Amino acid sequence: DEESAYQAAYNHVKAKNFPEAVEAFQKFLARFPLGFYAPNAHYWLGELYLVLDPPDAELARQSFKLLLDQYPDDLKVPDAIYKLGRVHFLKGNRDRSREYLNKVITEYPGHPAAQLAQDFINDSF
């Protein structure tokens, strides 16, 4: 079922089997594209693309953006906005990075992602 498929994919993350986790989340999304855990799967794919060797910032960007576009009310949205700020910074697009970081700060001021964004701005800009 969907929950056990998600848990199996997430277990690869916990075990630091990142290539296997990517494959498992991709298969999960192919089976359950509109499932309850789909937003989390997109989020984890974004995270995983950043820790692969070599990292793939563009695939990470696509995963986080897909989460925002398809699930604008999901609980992971503030985290995905913050991560998009980080990804754009990695890609060398500082202006776009700052836009995302400021967005999470202004739209989700009490969320932990807002503090992470502020810390990142303070340390990197």
What does the alpha-carbon distance between residue 57 and residue 60 come to, in Å, rounded to a whole number? Answer: 5
Q: What is the pLDDT of residue 73?
A: 95
Q: What is the pLDDT of residue 30?
A: 97
Task: Answer for the pair 41, 23: CB distance below 8 angstroms, yes or no.
Answer: no
In the structure, what pLDDT confidence band is assigned to residue 117 with cuts at 50, 70 and 90?
Answer: very high
CA distances, 106 to each of 24, 51, 82, 101, 118 (Å)? 35, 28, 12, 9, 10
Rounded mean pLDDT, 20-36: 97
What does the alpha-carbon distance between residue 25 and residue 31 come to, in Å, rounded to a whole number? Answer: 10
Which residues lie closer than 8 Å to 122 by C-beta, 6 or more apart? none
What does the alpha-carbon distance between residue 57 and residue 88 come to, in Å, rounded to a whole number? Answer: 8
**pLDDT tens track for 58-103:** 999 999 999 999 999 999 999 999 999 999 999 999 999 999 999 9
